[in-house]
Structure 1
């Protein structure tokens, strides 16, 4: 099943509608205008299907396309980046 990632810039989140539930990746901006990906949630019924990875990829691609650096405060995003070093060029690590 293909899930479409939507971006709600007002609420600062990427999300996927799954039935009557939503998976989401939230972010905020630092004073330097870097994107801090701070929380990922996937409903229990949709876990193990790569939803969190799809959200992380979409968020990081958005950061890159908008010339932002990214911070992985969320453990799911951090794990994704460690498996996908092609995003290291935009990451800010503590």
Structure 2
């Protein structure tokens, strides 16, 4: 499935429109060097069709490109990070919301 993800920096979200519905990953800019990934929202008709993974992947690539650390409050982002070690360095270990120690390291 081809999905085009866009950044709406003013509303602090990554999003795509599918079937007239907005699917999004919301974040909060804590400071220029730290973002909190809050939640993903995908319509039930598009759930499980890799839309949420694309949103998360694009958000993580953006954080990597911008050189920012992230706090993970979204369970979907946490699950994604459990399977993608290449993004572990983005997680800010000093903050209690989430740390690499919570990531499954099997």
TM-score using structure 2 length: 0.83
Q: Give the distance between the partners of 2:76 and 2:39, measured in 1 at CA.
A: 8
TM-score using structure 1 length: 0.93
Aligned length: 94
Q: Deviations over 1:39-91 (max 9, x none)?
A: 10000000111111110010011001001001111000111011101001111
- State the superposition RMSD in angstroms: 1.2
Q: Which runs of 5+ in 1 are unaligned?
A: none
Q: Which runs of 5+ in 2 are unaligned?
A: 97-106
The equivalences for 1:43-62 within 5 A come to: 43-62=43-62
Higher Cα radius of gyration: 2
Q: Which residue does the alignment assign to 2:3?
A: 3
